[in-house]
Amino acid sequence: MGPVILTLNAGSSSLKFAAFALVKGAEPSQLASGQIEGIGATAQGSVKTAAGEKSDLTFDPSLRRVDHQVAMDAILGWLRQAGYDSSVAAVGHRVVHGGLHLVEPKLIDESVIATLKGLIPLAPLHEPHNIAGILAAMKAFPSTPQVACFDTAFHRSHPFVDDTFALPRSYYDEGVRRYGFHGLSYEFITRKLGKIAPKIARKDVVIAHLGNGASMCAVHDGRAVATTMGFTALDGLSMGTRCGQLDPGVVLYLMTEKKMNADEISDLLWKNSGLKGMSGISQDMRELETSDSPAARDAIAYFVSRIRRELAGLAGTVDGVEAVVFTAGIGENSWKVREAALNGMEWMGIHLDVEANRANAQIISAKHSPTTVFIIPTNEELMIAEHTVRTAGVTG
C-alpha cells in the first residue's frame, strides 16, 4: 500500500480522525473517517470507510476514564486491523490557535509544542486538548512527521482595522486582537470556489460557516479581510451552545450582580447559551426546526438575524459582494435557515432561487442575480491532509 496520511482533530471530549491515501499526481483520497466521543469518561467510537462500511472502536471495559492517549491507541488498533498502520507517512493535526507567529502549517518539534503551551491562555478550552492529541500521536508514531495546521492562520491577512479592538495599543501589541477561527474551512472553500468559479473567487466573497460553531468571513481574492469571530471563538454569530456577540457589560453584570466567578461565566457563555440556551431544548438545528416551541422559533430567528446583520456588515469591509457561500452542517443542509437569511436581500444583489435552495443545489441564486450564492460542502480534514503532505514532504 502507498503512503497514508492520518489527520486528527482533538477536542476536550472527542477525537475526530481521518485516513487518506496518497496517490502521485492527485489530491489525497479519503479511506475512512471516525470519531471517538466521551473522552474523560466512558468513551465510544466508530469508523466509516469510504465505501460506507461502519465499525465500532472498542475500549477496555475496566477503564473508568478514557484519555486522549487511550483514544489514540484505539485508532492505532483500527489502523493495524485495516492494514494501514505501517503505511502512515505523516500525521496532521488541527490546532485552534497559532497566535501571532504560527501563520502556516509547521512540522512539530519541542519548540512548536512550547509555543502552543504558551498560547493556552488565548484558547483555554481548545489548545490543551489539541496539545494532548499531538502528544498522544507522537507516542503512537514516534518516528513519523507530525504537522500542526492552525485555524487562525488564514486570518492573519486582516488589515489593522479588522484585526484590532478599540483598546490601548499596548493590548494589541501583546496579542489581544481579532484572531478569527474556522480558517481551515475557509481556506478549503476559497480553493474549491477557485475551481468552480475562478473569476468570482478572485473578487469579493462572504463565506458563512454555519455549524455547531458558526462564523462568517469576508474574502478578497482568496485572502481573509474580516471575520465575525474575534479574540476567542465566542464572538459574532450565536452558535449551538455559544452566545456569540455580547455586550462586555453583561459579563461585568454577571460578576458584580450575580456574583458569578470566571468558571461559571465561562460555562454559561461557552456551553449553555446560543441555540441551546435560548430554546431551552437543544443545540441541534434539525430538532429546533421541527419543534412547535415558541422558544425554538425565537432561537432560530435570532440565529438568522445575526447572519443577516453580519452579511451586511462584512460586505462593508470589501467592495460589495460578488458571491456568498454557505458551508458546514447547517449551511449545507438547512434550506430554511438559508431562505430566511437571504429573503429580502435583493438590495445586496441577492435574488434567491427558492426551488434550487430547497433542493440543496450547488448554486441557489436566480440566474439574473448579480450576486451568486453557492452551497459548497467543507472538508477541513482534506485541507489538513494537503497541508501535511506539503509540509512533511511526503510523496506518493
Q: Which three cell numbers stand for residue 47?
A: 469508523
Under a CB-based contact definition with an 8 Å cutoff, are residues 389 and 90 in contact? yes
Domain with CATH 3.30.420.40 in the chain: 4-150, 197-380
Q: Are 350 and 322 in contact (CB under 8 A)?
A: no
Helix residue spans in 242-395 (DSSP H): 248-256, 262-271, 274-279, 285-289, 294-315, 328-333, 335-342, 354-358, 380-392
**Per annotation, catalytic residue among 73, 151, 162, 204:** 151
Domain covering 4-150 in this structure, CATH number = 3.30.420.40
Amino acid 325: pLDDT: 98
State the pLDDT at residue 25.
Answer: 77
Contact by Cβ (8 Å): 41, 29: no
Q: CA-based angle 160:164:166, to the nearest 5?
A: 125
Which of 304, 299, 269, 305 minimizes the C-alpha distance to 284? Answer: 299
CA distance 83 to 396: 18
Over its C-alpha atoms, the chain yields an Rg (Å, rounded) of 21
Compute the distance between CA of residue 390 and CA of residue 89 in angstroms, rounded to an integer: 12
Q: Is 151 a catalytic residue?
A: yes
pLDDT of residue 33: 93
Collect the ranges in the chain with pLDDT lower than 50: none
CATH of domain 197-380: 3.30.420.40
Is 169:134 a contact under the CB 8 Å cutoff? no
pLDDT at 1: 66
Pairwise CA distance, residues 223 & 217, whole Å = 10
